[in-house]
Amino acid sequence: KIIMGIESSCDETGVGLVRLHDDGAVELLADEVASSVDQHARFGGVVPEIASRAHMEAMVPTADRAFEKAGLKLSDVDAIAVTAGPGLSGALLVGVSAAKAYAAALGVPLYGVNHLAGHIAVDTLQHGPLPTPCLGLLVSGGHTQLLRIDDIASSITELGSTVDDAAGEAYDKVARVLGLPYPGGPPIDKAAKEGDPKAIAFPRGMTGPRDAKFDFSFSGLKTAVARWIEAAERRGDDIPVNDVAASFQEAVADVLTAKAVKAAKELGIDTMVISGGVAANSRLSGLAAERCEAAGITLRVPRPRLCTDNGAMIAALGAHVVAAGRPPSSLDLSANPALPVSVVSF
């Protein structure tokens, strides 16, 4: 079966095509992404109206490119999966409307699926079926969550999440105070390679004995970095950008990996998947690999291209939902900007 996946929850228009084999294996055939990130850069964050308009312009050309790359025709499609939430409401609406149009025109079932579950499901394209239960650490621009996955198609439980900023948001805000471009993840990752992670002892949020064990907090860290820079400026010092980047990055990677490994141990889970845009971070995956190995946990991190938003992740999740025999959505499916991760499809 051929499953088409459509993603438009934020600033990436993604169309993915996968083949669902009879044994349940899911094979990646095409993954085309058009991003409006450059149009948002000067605002330092995603502007919803600009994102929606860009999705409108990019949707059909991106889909056409995906079919061309896969060597498939529209009539080859057996089912359509679309991100139905969470995300920006106008942006989601463009994808959901397009998906309905394709589904109606082709006479194939439509599946509204969860973007966050898609970030985890994408790993099966690279590493094969997910052993369950497994622990998911989802770290993206809008979310930071620890998840227990019992079935990627139907059963995901949130164990904890950030109480304030998402990890990616902290990257973006720290990049701004360091004078680095938006989005901040990649330039901080690069600057950190030249810096000393031990140069500055930034706080590790929510790691005290009385803090909820599986929740995260990054707003204190972000403020600490801003204060540190202000103080250095007041003294007239040059800002050691590489050291600040490395020390900030170390604090984020330390907290994320320590909590995830602790959760896996406590729950007796031996497989961990880290995904979402921040999973593209080299120090996060490096430290996670060290700590998982020491704890006897198998770590799976999709390649960076699959970690950030794309259509293949939605096609992959759609394939698992189809394989599990879940019911399709009705053609009056509407997007839910605040969809909880526990609702995998609806």
The span of 128-136, 179-187, 237-245, 322-330 binding ligand ATP (CB under 6 A) equals 179-187
Largest Cα span, the chain:
67
Residue nearer to Fe ion on the CB measure, 140 or 336: 140
Helices (DSSP H) in the chain: which residue ranges?
37-40, 48-70, 89-106, 115-121, 123-127, 167-177, 185-192, 219-234, 241-267, 282-295, 304-307, 312-323
Residue pointed to by tokens 């989005």: 183
CB of 134 to Mg ion, least distance (A): 25
Candidates 45, 127, 130, 27; CA nearest to 344 is 130
Q: CA-CA distance, 142 to 144, in Å (whole number)?
A: 7
d(CA 3, CA 106): 12
When binding is defined by CB under 5 A, the residue of 13, 52, 62, 140 that contacts Fe ion is 140
Residues 79 and 111 sit within 8 Å (Cβ to Cβ): yes
Nearest approach, Cβ of 5 to ligand ATP (angstroms)? 14
Dihedrals phi, psi of 297, to nearest 5 degrees: -105, 135
DSSP one-letter string for 107-127: T--EEEEEHHHHHHHTHHHHH
Task: Write out the binding residues for Mg ion, residues 280-309 only, by CB under 5 A.
Answer: 309
In the bound state with Mg ion, the residue whose beta carbon lies nearer, of 165 and 309, is 309
Q: Contact at 8 Å (CB) between 248 and 176?
A: no
Q: Is 11 in the site for Mg ion (CB under 5 A)?
A: yes
Minimum distance between the CB of residue 211 and ligand ATP, rounded to whole angstroms? 22
Q: Which of 189, 215, 250, 254 binds ligand ATP (CB under 6 A)?
A: 189
Query: 119 or 259, CB closer to Mg ion?
Result: 119
32 vs 309 by CB, closer to Fe ion: 309
Buried b (16+ CB within 10 A) or exposed e, 116-149: bbbbbbbbbbeeeebeebbbbbbbbbbbbbbbbb
Work out how close the CB of 115 gets to Fe ion at its nearest, in angstroms, rounded to a whole number: 6
Give the range of 120-128, 183-191, 288-296, 315-323 binding ligand ATP by CB under 6 A.
183-191
For position 169 contacting Mg ion by CB under 5 A, the verdict is: no
> What part of residues 126-155 is at the interface with ligand ATP (CB under 6 A)?
140-143
Q: Would you say 5 is a known binding-site residue? A: no
Give the residue, chosen from 112, 136, 185, 318, that forms a contact with ligand ATP under the rule CB under 6 A. Answer: 185
Choose from ligand ATP, Fe ion, Mg ion, none: what does 291 bind? Cβ within 5-8 Å by kind. none
- Give me 92's structure tokens: 């989601």
Among 308, 329, 336, 345, binds ligand ATP (CB under 6 A): 308
Decide the pairing of beta strands 144-151 and 134-139.
antiparallel
Q: Closer to ligand ATP at the Cβ: 124 or 310? A: 310
Count residues contacting Fe ion (CB under 5 A)? 2
Question: How many positions of this chain bind ligand ATP (CB under 6 A)?
Answer: 23
Which residues partner with 139 through β-bridges?
144
Between 156 and 278, CB nearer to ligand ATP:
278
Cβ pair 144, 216 in contact under 8 A: yes
For residue 201, the tally of other CB atoms under 10 A from its CB is 10
CA distance 275 to 6: 19
CB of 75 to ligand ATP, least distance (A): 31
Residues near Mg ion, by CB under 5 A: 10-11, 309
Task: List the binding residues.
Answer: 115, 119, 138-142, 172, 185, 189, 281, 309
Binding footprint of ligand ATP on the chain (CB under 6 A): 9-10, 87, 115, 140-143, 168, 171-172, 183-186, 189, 276-278, 280-281, 308-309
Binding-site residues for Fe cation sit at: 115, 119, 309
